[in-house]
Amino acid sequence: MTTNSYTQTSLFTSLRKNIREVVFKSPQLARLYYRMTFSRPVLPHWVGNNYYRETSSWELKPHLCPCDVDFMQYLEQEQIHNKTIFHFGTGSHHILGLENRKLTAANQILGITASVLEHQKYVSLCQENRHLNKYYKVLFADIYTLTAAALPMFDIVSLFHLGEFYLTEEADFVHHDDQSLVKMFLSKLNPGGRILFYPGSVGWGKVAEFIDKCEYQGKIHKVAEYNSLLVYQK
């Protein structure tokens, strides 16, 4: 690369960064940015919950977010079959449900997504293959609206996207923040059950200290680090 080409590339990168910094300070400008670039928002903080739920959809990108692939591999390696699993954040790929039904003794999985498009994809997949929702159900809901009374007990809980989606301005519409959500799921975890986190999440920095506190208090203890995942046991 020539000096001029390198300089032009650096200027373009710097300009793009500056534009994004200005744009993402305003939800209105952020929504306009996504419409003009034909891209989808990754987090609701930039665009507001309503726009996010209507337009977001996460395809399988293990090079950027390997947690779901690693989770499926972990279940296979540990020979976890015929268990009850809660899964936070299905993606439009729904790989966990699709791969789970291939197991000799499939797990019962309850997933949740706040994305309209991801849930529509789930419905479409179930229409194509009725065996899918025999073992894999997906709720369309804000995870922070869930209550212990509405949930069964689980053997395994994955909270890979903890810290990513809670908005303080939504407090009147939900039951939980990130910390109380963890406490609720610990109350719904069977003795010896496992709860998994993904420290590669953009929200991990908001909750890592609280997870360490739970471990210090003896509520959970770390039993494994599997690829990108942290595995704790109750």
**pLDDT below 70 — which residues of the chain?**
1-51
Cα Rg of the chain, angstroms: 19
Using the CB atoms, write b or e for 49-61: b if 16+ within 10 Å: bebbbebbbbeee
Q: What is the pLDDT of residue 18?
A: 60
Q: What is the pLDDT of residues 140-163, one digit of tens each?
A: 999 999 999 999 999 999 999 999
Residue labelled with tokens 């990168």: 13
Q: What is the pLDDT of residue 57?
A: 80
Nearest of 213, 211, 194, 215 to residue 203 by alpha carbon: 211
Nearest of 16, 43, 38, 12 to residue 27 by alpha carbon: 43
Q: What is the pLDDT of residue 3?
A: 54
Q: What is the pLDDT of residue 53?
A: 72
Nearest of 159, 140, 230, 155 to residue 194 by alpha carbon: 155
pTM: 0.82
Question: What are the extents of the domains in the chain?
Answer: 3-55, 67-233
Distance CA 229, CA 197 (A): 6
Q: What is the pLDDT of residue 226?
A: 98
Q: What is the pLDDT of residues 175-190, one digit of tens each?
A: 999 999 999 999 999 9
**In CATH, 67-233 is 3.40.50.150:** yes
Non-local CB neighbours of 51 within 8 Å, separated by 6+ positions: 27, 31, 41, 44
